[in-house]
Structure 1
């Protein structure tokens, strides 16, 4: 069974919200079938930092990344979510 790696960029609602805290909030909300593989802060402007994350998910997830996007958008502090890349990983 293969997995899919999804590269996303999450913008916080407030420049005061640090990427590490945003990552922790997202991790708490994600179901077990999703796994945060890596993350990093991405400076945007004027002290605002986005969160870039690679999340692994099962290939057979219905609706592609829609469920993942919906979950992350519901996290307090998330302003915007962009899916930058989706790729299949061979197991």
Structure 2
């Protein structure tokens, strides 16, 4: 079964937020068939860093990335998210 790799930028609400802890909070909110395969910390400006998340979701996810976007927005400490890319992968 194919999966979809979603690349999302997550911007924290403050420079004081620990990004590793934020990733753990996000992992707790994701359904069991969603998986963060990798994440990077990306410097933005003036000490603010964003997270670039690489998330595998089922191909047949209803609504595409809408559910993922809602989940990410609902995590405490997340100010804004941006879906950068969506790729279909046959195996990972």
| Structure 1 residue aligned with 2:61 | 61
Listed as ranges, the gaps of 5+ residues in structure 2 are none
| Structure 2 residue aligned with 1:30 | 30
Listed as ranges, the gaps of 5+ residues in structure 1 are none
The Cα RMSD (Å) is: 0.6
* Partner Cα distance (2:16, 2:72) in 1: 19
The Cα shift of 1:18 comes to: 2.2
Match of 1:68, SS state, is: helix
* Partner Cα distance (1:11, 1:79) in 2: 6
CA contact (8 A) 1:40 1:51 kept: yes
CA contact (8 A) 1:7 1:53 kept: yes
Aligned length, in residue pairs: 91
| Structure 2 residue aligned with 1:86 | 86
| Structure 2 residue aligned with 1:44 | 44
| Structure 1 residue aligned with 2:14 | 14
Structure 1 residue ranges (4+ consecutive) displaced by more than 2 angstroms after TM superposition: none
Match of 2:69, SS state, is: helix
1:45-85 CA distance string (max 9 Å, x none): 11100000100000001100000110010000000000000
CA contact (8 A) 1:18 1:49 kept: no
